[in-house]
Amino acid sequence: MADQQVIVIVALFLISLVLLVAVRHNKVDWGVRWFGIIDGLNRFICIHYHRVQPSEISLPEQGGCIIACNHVSGLDPLVLIAAARRPLRFMIAREEYERFGLQWLFRGVGCIPVERKGRPEQALREALRTLQSGEVLAIFPHGKMHLDSDPARKLKKGVAWLAQQANVPVIPLRLTGVRGEGHTLLSVFMRSRIKIEEFNPVNCLTEDNGDCLDKIAKCIEGRSS
């Protein structure tokens, strides 16, 4: 009986410690307390395990904008969330959105599922409403994981279209230092030393689609001078 009491006390202590760490590291109000705890744990893990630089993404304090980032692993969304002081709404493939055991989380934080093999119009309309309501939309414009060693892959045109329709800036970011490149789950467990490189916002209203996409691509693919 004494051993069981010790186990219970230790378990409660560890749970309390985890909750304390989560609350202290939570920086964003997701509207649901549990999501705030998850946010805090994610920030703690990204900063102390994956060694994400403590600098934050330069987001406007209010109003819509688009984050466009290279996509090298399943860790990428967690890193972006850890570096932002505003909630991010991600456009993700429907097969990822419906992944067993995670759909409740993706739905709760407002992810927008995209039919990669079908017509993306519904997802684009939802993304446009998101921007028009003043939220931050995060996009991996290559459409799927794309490593620097892979053959050149054009960006999806949706990022430029959304920026033009919603009249919002695009903030290009580039992630480097991820050890588990090319992997979805493995990258979360492999310790990294991640750097987030941020570039000047791109105004797609003053550019045609081709020039806008080219500027974004040069930044997130590491070709910017």
Whole-prediction pTM: 0.91
Q: Same domain, yes or no, for 82 and 17?
A: no
**What amino acid occupies position 177?**
G
Q: Is there a domain that residue 160 lies in?
A: yes
Q: What is the pLDDT of residues 13-43, one digit of tens each?
A: 777 887 888 888 999 999 888 899 999 999 9
Q: What is the pLDDT of residues 42-88, one digit of tens each?
A: 999 999 999 998 678 999 999 999 999 999 999 999 999 999 999 99
Q: What confidence score (pLDDT) does residue 173 get?
A: 97
The domain containing residue 180 runs over which residues? 58-220
Q: Same domain, yes or no, for 63 and 17?
A: no
d(CA 115, CA 61): 31
Flag whether pLDDT at 4 surpasses 80.
no
Flag whether pLDDT at 1 surpasses 70.
no
Q: Same domain, yes or no, for 12 and 91?
A: no
d(CA 98, CA 79): 21
Q: Is there a domain that residue 13 lies in?
A: yes
Q: Same domain, yes or no, for 154 and 108?
A: yes
Q: Is there a domain that residue 225 lies in?
A: no
Q: What is the pLDDT of residues 168-218, one digit of tens each?
A: 999 999 999 999 999 999 999 999 999 999 999 999 988 888 899 999 999
Q: Same domain, yes or no, for 22 and 127?
A: no
Flag whether pLDDT at 111 surpasses 80.
yes
Q: Is there a domain that residue 95 lies in?
A: yes
Q: What confidence score (pLDDT) does residue 225 get?
A: 60
* Structure tokens, 168: 């919002």
d(CA 157, CA 194): 28
Look up the CATH number of the domain holding residue 116: 3.40.1130.10
